[in-house]
Structure 1
Amino acid sequence: MLDEEPTVTTPHPLNSGLRVDLNPAAAIARNARHQGDTVAVRYEGGDLTYARLDDRSARLATVLAQGGVADGDRVAYLGLNSGAFLVTMLAAFRLGAVFVPVNYRLAEPELERVLHGSGATVVVCEEGHRESVERVRERTHLTRFLLVDDDPEAPTPGAAGWEPWSPLLETALPTPALAVKHADDAAILMFTSGTTGAPKGVVLTHGNAWWNAVNVELRLDTRRGDVTYAAAPLFHIGALNSFVLRTLVRGGTVVVRRAFDPQTCLDDVVTHRVNSMFGVPQMFGALARVPGVFEQDLSHLRAVVVAGAPVPPSLIEQYAAHGVLLQQAWGLTETAPFATHLPAERTLDKIGSAGIPMPFTEVRVVDTVTQEPLKPGEPGEIVVRGPNVTAGYWNNPEATRAAFDDEGWFHSGDIGHLDEDGFLYIVDRLKDMIISGGENVYPAEVERVLAAMPGVHDVAVVGVPDEQWGETVAAVVTVADPEAITLEDIRAYAAGQLARYKLPRRLTLVPALPRNTSGKLDKTVIRRMAEEEG
């Protein structure tokens, strides 16, 4: 008797995982049921257990719903890192609304563009930013204004036209409703820094956040019950979705600080035995300068990710010498945030690399003209494809079309190259490239060399106009002793590591380098500094 052909059963769509609920608010509710007394958020303005976090977000969801917020509406938050930030985000998620974390350092014209462009109808705000909202409110879609009035770290005297949220939360009944959200549903609307024009709204879906979490789970040493540290601004995806959101979903503890302070960070890491944290290189550089930092017990730090700006190899070596492995990663807001990551065990033998693609993310380096993949060692534009990549830009189909090609690859605007083993090295931003005498100079390459120079604390390299060369290389530097370093010293130090045409021809010493809130150098302001010096 002949064997029968095997029967292939097509899974029912409801059983395939395609329709699974990915709403983080549902995970918080589960944690509240099963581990309600566990501290979810440690914050100087008041700790929150999972039961308390779930209750407050459910009450705020009721308040928002009573004001007309429904599925797909946008809810904005303007303030520093706090428990209120997380409560507002989870309340929006409960209703199926889209959370809009606003950069609190924006100038008022930028704030207006973000609030108006998002279409947010309600804003939750701290007192320190209320007046800025007041001055732009008439040119936005905002109809309701809630003021955080129960945070000792953000005291408020109250103001006409604003509703203090504490009495509203006290009297509202917690809504039992929890919107079911799938992979393609929008979760967060996060605006880019806008350094090259008007900020674009990046739509991050619940699937984007979830797949990033899966990537992190498979690549980094993180565990249930971990303690993570959040001092980088939560309105950036690097801080919010590297560890914070996923730690809450898993039932761990998030230590929230309103802003980064090196000494406070060290105290917190030691006291709370922090296991994971995200930071930009500037943060880890400042932490390394705290007296006695490496004499403390840092052995519990297992997953320390540094990203957001080029990482000096000397910084990685300094930490590694004391048993702390800084794991470099690369990504953008649009990749939610990680596209690549350097595994801890490769920290030193692949020093300077941003790592390999995350497990469920594809990364290529392509020719900027032909778009064809390049051979190892050849620099080109880094393109990314995967379920962690944004669905597109909010109400901006032109920008979305420009960012994605016909095969679904997102074009990052970053220049890099792969080595023979498939490890990615970031060269620079395409727009920052200097063309001097017909030669291409990538500022990040020069910055990495100069950052290791003794006495140099911080460095930025830009191109400035030059009659002979078209552009020339200018270094803007902060140093320990301004009298001890000259342009000739800089050139002599770098001469053995860089081609002559890459050596700076101008030097500007400044007390501090301007950076944006994600830790990236503000090249527009820095270029102006260099030009004025010249």
Structure 2
Amino acid sequence: MPSPHPRNSGLRVDLNPAAAVARHARHQTRDVVVRYAGGDLTYAELDDRAARLASVLSDGGVVDGTRVAYLGLNSPAFLVTMLAAFRLGAVFVPVNFRLAEPELERVLAGSGAEAIVCEEGHRLAVDAVRGATELWRLLLVDDDPEVPAADGGAAGWEPWSPLIAAAPPATALVPKYADDPAILMFTSGTTGTPKGVVLTHGNVWWNSVNVDLRLDTRRGDVTYAGAPLFHIGALNSFALRTLVRGGTVVVRRSFDPQECLDDLVEHRVNTMFGVPQMFAALARVPGFADRDLRELRAVVVAGAPVPPSLVELYAGRDVLLQQAWGLTETAPFATHLPAERTLEKLGSAGIAMPYTEVRVVDAVSNAPVKPGEPGEIVVRGPNVTAGYWNDPQATAAAFDEEGWFHSGDVGHLDEDGCLYIVDRLKDMIISGGENVYPAEVERVLAAMPGVVDVAVVGVADEQWGEAVAAVLTVADGTGIGLEDVRAYAAGRLARYKLPRRLTLVPAVPRNASGKLDKTVIRRLATEES
């Protein structure tokens, strides 16, 4: 029987995060929402700046659906630009600040962004490529003491502070519903050309629902944002949902282990997202064992394989690192390991989020595989992307007829439904006819004494087709050779999985999201061999 009041079903509820921030500005006027070295912001100040920037952008032609880009390190300007875009119904495009010019051109041109807010440190890169883009409104951040001083004479650029100061706060706030695009975020592109992932307001909202149902999050939480906000893990795990929930975000330009440890204690941080390398570096800070971290109760680690030894180290400090798994396309979390099962299911990426379905299927038949059997991880749910921007071919290839998104990651489920990540399908090494998953080898070598960081790739080999190659960073004064690596791993891995090549590097190449840059790593391993 149809509902007599279909308009009250909630299906057309406004999910715009900017509307939530505006509400907090009315009811939590003086509450600090952003802690930042260059100056804190209250909810009233954040909402006012976003409303004024919205007027500036609107006067320049930004309307519902326009793409608005941001290029710079973490800062309040990032959040102000995002909220201003949302107020107008525009699509926010956070840009990786470490992109080389050809990559930057592909992202800016591919997004069709017409307006950009940029820091001085990245202006020249935009100038070099803007002729190939649709950019015509260029605003330069000039009022942040943490940002390089803006060049007032930069051709075509407008310092944003006088424009914001003179603009009246926009009163209009475009309502946004579940299927409306909110964020256009480009994948890291470590194994190929970046793709533009369309994340809707519904994707963003449902991830927040999943997080709040699974993790110990509360109104008024303080979250730490030291990982790059252009990455979905940092932006949508806690930072954006904290704005919507009325909490406080400690924003740092980048991750510094000593600064992070001080912040966790001083600001009594409750929630935090990070990649494994961040937590490993944090644990190496002198005095780490003596600092009071009892306020940390929702700590998610994802984005790369998590060494079990790292989880055990933090558990010894009564901090439970909760492993999660997901992608930009799942906004970001598809699975999460509840805190109470952290040590029981060591090494697992957890169970499916409350409103998300996860399966492991045979890559050829698409049929679900038995517990313990590896296969491709597929995901379905309201947090999963609507598709790739202007790329129907890639969208069609990623989804099957039943609406399952094919992640390209290999994993297996145990009898309890807990997911264990094996590796990327693309990264699998076939050596002498045997399948070798680099992540499995990396996990073993990461625990080897003296190893600081590790990557494993396949390189061409006349005898075996592909050979397993390890690229290591080791502690100062540590002498590690290929035979040492093989001897250590021999009791832990099958013989065909043992590295046949070894390359030592000062730092294992990673992108700004903390993921291994396999393209660069393969080149290093190949050159060495």
TM range, normalised to the smaller chain?
A: over 0.9
Kept in 1: contact 2:409–2:423 (CA 8 A): yes
Distance in 2 of aligned mates of 1:148 and 1:415: 42
Deviations 1:296-333 (A, max 9, x none): 00000000000000111111111111111100000000
Alignment match, 1:29:
22
Distance in 1 of aligned mates of 2:216 and 2:76: 26
Alignment match, 2:80:
87
Deviations 1:337-385 (A, max 9, x none): 0000000011111000000000000000000100000000100000000
Distance in 2 of aligned mates of 1:495 and 1:184: 51
Q: How does 1:398-413 map to 2 (within 5 A)?
A: 398-413=393-408
Distance in 2 of aligned mates of 1:322 and 1:199: 39
Aligned match for 2:506, one of 511, 516, 519: 511
Alignment match, 1:130:
123
Distance in 1 of aligned mates of 2:2 and 2:140: 55
Deviations 1:186-210 (A, max 9, x none): 0000011222332111000000000
- What residue identity is the alignment partner of 1:301? L
Deviations 1:218-269 (A, max 9, x none): 0000100110000100001100000000101111000000000000000100
SS of the aligned residue for 1:284 comes to helix
Alignment match, 1:62:
55
Aligned match for 2:137, one of 134, 144, 161: 144
Q: How does 1:169-248 map to 2 (within 5 A)?
A: 169-248=164-243
Distance in 1 of aligned mates of 2:215 and 2:104: 36
SS of the aligned residue for 2:454 comes to strand
Kept in 1: contact 2:450–2:478 (CA 8 A): no
Distance in 1 of aligned mates of 2:278 and 2:188: 19
Distance in 2 of aligned mates of 1:172 and 1:90: 16
How far apart are 1:11 and its partner, in Å? 5.1
Distance in 1 of aligned mates of 2:120 and 2:6: 48
Deviations 1:408-438 (A, max 9, x none): 0000000000001100000000000000000
Alignment match, 1:386:
381
Q: How does 1:228-377 map to 2 (within 5 A)?
A: 228-377=223-372
Alignment match, 1:437:
432
How far apart are 1:482 and its partner, in Å? 5.4
Distance in 1 of aligned mates of 2:190 and 2:488: 32
Distance in 1 of aligned mates of 2:289 and 2:13: 45
- Over aligned residues, Cα RMSD in angstroms? 0.9
Alignment match, 1:4:
none
Alignment match, 1:156:
150
The question of 1:423 aligning with 2:425 is answered no
Alignment match, 1:20:
13
Aligned match for 1:41, one of 34, 37, 45: 34
- What residue identity is the alignment partner of 2:243? L
Alignment match, 2:107:
114
SS of the aligned residue for 2:513 comes to coil
Deviations 1:470-492 (A, max 9, x none): 11111111111455222122111
SS of the aligned residue for 2:383 comes to coil
Aligned match for 2:93, one of 91, 100, 104: 100
- What residue identity is the alignment partner of 2:411? G
Distance in 2 of aligned mates of 1:477 and 1:305: 26
- What residue identity is the alignment partner of 1:107? A
Distance in 1 of aligned mates of 2:335 and 2:243: 23
Kept in 2: contact 1:262–1:290 (CA 8 A): yes
SS of the aligned residue for 2:199 comes to strand
Kept in 1: contact 2:188–2:194 (CA 8 A): yes
Shifted more, 194-203 versus 375-384: the winner is: 194-203
Distance in 1 of aligned mates of 2:210 and 2:74: 25
The question of 1:76 aligning with 2:99 is answered no
Which stretches in structure 1 are left out of the alignment for 5+ residues?
Answer: 1-7
Kept in 2: contact 1:482–1:509 (CA 8 A): no
- What residue identity is the alignment partner of 1:286? A
How far apart are 1:9 and its partner, in Å? 5.3
SS of the aligned residue for 2:83 comes to helix
Q: TM-score, normalized by length of structure 1?
A: 0.98
Distance in 2 of aligned mates of 1:11 and 1:120: 43
SS of the aligned residue for 2:409 comes to strand
- What residue identity is the alignment partner of 1:20? V
- What residue identity is the alignment partner of 2:71? L
Deviations 1:426-484 (A, max 9, x none): 00000000000000000000110111111111111111111111111111111114552
Kept in 1: contact 2:51–2:87 (CA 8 A): yes
Distance in 1 of aligned mates of 2:65 and 2:7: 23
Kept in 1: contact 2:255–2:278 (CA 8 A): yes
Kept in 1: contact 2:16–2:176 (CA 8 A): yes
Report how many aligned residue pairs link the two structures: 527
Kept in 1: contact 2:191–2:518 (CA 8 A): no
- What residue identity is the alignment partner of 1:406? E
How far apart are 1:91 and its partner, in Å? 0.2
Kept in 1: contact 2:15–2:201 (CA 8 A): yes
SS of the aligned residue for 2:282 comes to helix
- What residue identity is the alignment partner of 2:59? Q
Kept in 2: contact 1:13–1:19 (CA 8 A): no
Deviations 1:126-160 (A, max 9, x none): 00000111111111001111001000011223223
Alignment match, 1:50:
43
SS of the aligned residue for 1:339 comes to strand
Distance in 2 of aligned mates of 1:298 and 1:251: 22
- Residue 182 to residue 483, structure 1, CA distance change in 2 (3 Å): closer
- What residue identity is the alignment partner of 1:142? L
- What residue identity is the alignment partner of 1:359? P
Deviations 1:5-52 (A, max 9, x none): xxx551533211100000000000000000110000011111110000
Distance in 1 of aligned mates of 2:460 and 2:335: 35
- Residue 9 to residue 197, structure 1, CA distance change in 2 (3 Å): closer
How far apart are 1:180 and its partner, in Å? 0.5
Which stretches in structure 2 are left out of the alignment for 5+ residues?
Answer: none
Q: TM-score, normalized by length of structure 2?
A: 0.99
